[in-house]
Amino acid sequence: MSGGSSGSVGSPVWAGGAMRRAVRAARAVRWYAASVLGERDYERYVAHLARTHPGEVPVPVAQYWRERHAAADRQPGARCC
């Protein structure tokens, strides 16, 4: 069994498949971490605003986070830590 499409460990076919799986796993970890840390929250807010209040201008990113952190400080029971 040499190279080609046999699927042996040293073959380019296996290496390509492993690379695709590794990239896919890395993307999944990145997505999960970003979701847990709230990185996509502003994007979701802007999308929600456009969907439910068309024409309304979203607040700037910095203001969004200031207001969000202020709300979390006012309601400490609404978070895990």
Reading the block at residue 48, the tokens are: 């929600």
Q: Which secondary-structure segment (H or E) carries 6?
A: none
Residue 56, classified by CB atoms within 10 Å of its CB into exposed (0-12), middle (13-18) or buried (19+), is exposed
| DSSP structural state of residue 40 | T
| Domain positions in the chain | 9-38, 40-76
Per-residue pLDDT of the chain (81 residues; tens, 9 = 90+): 444 455 555 556 567 788 899 999 999 999 898 888 888 899 999 999 999 999 999 999 999 999 998 988 888 776 665
Query: What's residue 63's pLDDT?
Result: 96
